[in-house]
Amino acid sequence: MPIPSSLARLELALDERSTRPVYRQIADRIREAIEAGSLAPGLRLPPIRTLAAQMGVNRDTVAGAYEALAAEGLLESVVGRGTFVLGVAGGGPSEPVALELSERVERLLAIDGARPRIDHTSEALPMHSLIPDPALYPLAEFRRSLNRAIAKGGADLFEYGGAQGHPGLREELAEHFGRSGIAVSASEIVLCHGASQGISLALRLFAREDEAVAVELPTYQNVLATLAGLGIRALGVATSAAGPDLDALARVLAKPDVKAFYTIPTFHNPLGTTTSLENRRALLELAARHGKPVIEDAFEMDLRCSGRPMPPLAALDRHAVVVHLFSFSKALFPGARVGSITARGRAVEGLVALKHATDLSDSMPLQAAMAEFMHSGAYARHLGRMRRALRARHTAAQEALARHMPAGTKWTRPEGGYQIWVELPFEIDTRDLLTDAARAGVLFSPGSQFMPESGGSRGLRLTLARLGEDEIRTGIERLARCVEARRAAAGERRAPRGVNV
């Protein structure tokens, strides 16, 4: 059979600047010709040797292209006879099928799409970021812990570890929590892939699609996304510096379809505030009266840098209604993805079953390393350094806010954690302010990000996770200039709504 003229006409032009391997380029051109119908089924392709000589490439290169196409079912090689076109399944050129995503994922995409796009490569000061400063990661000490963990654990450490997580780390955490007043045993702790997975497991433990969960208003944006992804409704409870509004909480918890209350009582995200002891006790009594669980997100509990320690809800819990979430992401680093959920009784069994059904288990080498890191005292030493750094940053931020922000601006005075909430004294959607601020060289998170409904907000969140004192001063000064400019443009109109801080 002669060389098909259609193949000769293709001439299989190669792009010399392409990083795609030559054999892949040859395969692409032949596939295109088959899909376009110019190489019909049954045609014989030129022998490898001939095509290689014609194109000035190695025979292996052409053989590789033919093999790749044979693997895709487009060609067939018959020993002693040659390589033949088989054709495309279904005939014509292949069109990607537009797969229909689930309704919940479409909602998630809408939430994601509404988030302000921040140019992370810009030089602007990242006062929106909640990722701790990599300069403070105790890498050398953690590496020693990992080495010790592997030396001790050996190959066992690299098997599936069991859904509840590494027993040694659970022991360490039980002791650690005990120092905050949470009386818990290792058997009541389930390790998980960061507090994020803890949130998802805890929500799934109590609520299903079309039911509802009470959340503070404002609240952590990703809990809103997790709820949307699970098809669970978020019911907002107004929250101020002292904590959630108890009357509003009572009304929401009384609804039969509300299955739990998710709260961040210590160094709230985004407010930075700590729920008062009185409010803590009252909300626990309320939850117990309504028989509803409280999901306590204690993601920054180890980051207190001033004031008196406040007992976690789990330490005050007389009715076993609290499910407590912990994370190493903010006090240490997020990349290890280690967090925990503490619960009681059947809730623990439920969490272990859910964790197993979700992903069998987490990374044992990392959990074992974390256990070593805690046991050796390295975590406690690291926390001392973090708290000192954080104290200096908060002092700088408070002074800069007082010095630069226009009169009437309110902000929170956190005793730890990274986030500060700022309320502007005039009508503005802080999403608009972000555009000015980014141009002026500072980033923040607009308040709308932390609300279940996508309305504007005159609040904004600043974070101190990645900046030293001088940068914090500079960032706040830049922000204040943008605020002043907007206020001058807006006149002195009063703002209709905001968070009472």
Ligand X SMILES: Cc1ncc(COP(=O)(O)O)c(C=O)c1O
Q: Select 64 or 218, whichever has its Cβ closest to ligand X.
A: 218
Contacts with ligand X by CB under 6 A lie at 130, 194-196, 220, 264, 269, 297, 299, 327, 329, 334, 339
Closest C-alpha to 466, from 232, 124, 88:
124
Closest C-alpha to 359, from 182, 244, 190:
190
What is the closest distance, in whole angstroms, from the C-beta atom of residue 339 to ligand X in the complex? 4
Q: Select 61 or 329, whichever has its Cβ closest to ligand X.
A: 329
CA distances from residue 384 to 75, 229, 374, 414 in whole angstroms, order as listed:
66, 38, 13, 18
Residues for the chain: how many in total?
Answer: 501
User: What is the Cα–Cα distance from 60 to 191, expressed in whole angstroms?
Assistant: 51
What is the closest distance, in whole angstroms, from the C-beta atom of residue 215 to ligand X in the complex? 11
What is the closest distance, in whole angstroms, from the C-beta atom of residue 130 to ligand X in the complex? 4
Backbone φ and ψ of 273, nearest 5°: -85, 165
Closest C-alpha to 451, from 246, 224, 263:
224
What is the closest distance, in whole angstroms, from the C-beta atom of residue 334 to ligand X in the complex? 5
What is the closest distance, in whole angstroms, from the C-beta atom of residue 329 to ligand X in the complex? 3
Cβ-closest position to ligand X: 194
Q: Select 33 or 451, whichever has its Cβ closest to ligand X.
A: 451
Q: Select 68 or 215, whichever has its Cβ closest to ligand X.
A: 215
Q: How many helices, marked H, and strands, marked E, lie in the chain?
A: 17, 16
- Please say whether the beta carbons of 116 and 434 come within 8 A: yes
Q: Select 161 or 334, whichever has its Cβ closest to ligand X.
A: 334
User: What is the Cα–Cα distance from 6 to 34, expressed in whole angstroms?
Assistant: 10
- Please say whether the beta carbons of 458 and 475 come within 8 A: no
Residues contacting 219, CB < 8 A, separation 6+ = 234, 236, 239, 262, 264, 269, 270, 450
What is the closest distance, in whole angstroms, from the C-beta atom of residue 96 to ligand X in the complex? 34
Q: Select 52 or 190, whichever has its Cβ closest to ligand X.
A: 190
Closest C-alpha to 281, from 323, 317, 325, 244:
317
What is the closest distance, in whole angstroms, from the C-beta atom of residue 128 to ligand X in the complex? 11
Q: Select 86 or 225, whichever has its Cβ closest to ligand X.
A: 225
What is the closest distance, in whole angstroms, from the C-beta atom of residue 371 to ligand X in the complex? 17
Backbone φ and ψ of 269, nearest 5°: -110, 115
Enter the tokens of residue 441: 């060289």
Q: Select 46 or 334, whichever has its Cβ closest to ligand X.
A: 334
